């Protein structure tokens, strides 16, 4: 059925961009965007199939949103996303820990 609606293919995108992931939830989309922007990785989003229309009507895309990053930063973006999804703690030099106060 996905093939019938064009949901089995990655959306059209810039040739310098690579597909990082497809998300199906507006909260996860916001988290992924925040993680990438926090590390200075530019990202772009494209709705699959009729997702743009569905998003206007329902408030979110039930068919998924593709997240793209520059090909040169794909490996870094994958590592960040894997760390988030695996619940790993990522140290930030700018954050002061409770022990340092």
The per-residue pLDDT string of the chain (101 residues; one tens digit each, 9 = 90 and over) reads 445 444 455 555 678 889 999 888 888 899 999 999 999 999 998 887 655 555 556 666 667 888 999 999 999 999 999 988 888 766 666 555 555 55
pTM beyond 0.85: no
In the chain, what are the domains? 2-86 (3.30.70)
| pLDDT for position 89 | 67
What are the contacts of 74-80 at 24+ separation with CB within 8 A? 74/18, 74/20, 76/39, 76/41, 77/20, 77/36, 77/41, 77/43, 78/20, 80/35, 80/36, 80/39, 80/41
């Amino acid at each position: 059925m996905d093939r019938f609606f064009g949901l089995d293919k990655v959306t059209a995108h810039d040739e310098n961009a690579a597909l990082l992931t497809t998300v199906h939830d507006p909260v996860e989309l916001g988290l992924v965007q925040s993680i990438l922007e926090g590390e200075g990785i530019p990202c772009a989003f494209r709705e699959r199939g009729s997702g743009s229309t569905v998003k206007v009507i329902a408030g979110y895309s039930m068919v998924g949103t593709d997240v793209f990053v520059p090909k040169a930063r794909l490996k870094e973006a994958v590592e960040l996303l894997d760390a988030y999804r695996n619940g790993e703690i990522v140290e930030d030099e700018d954050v002061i820990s409770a022990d340092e106060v």
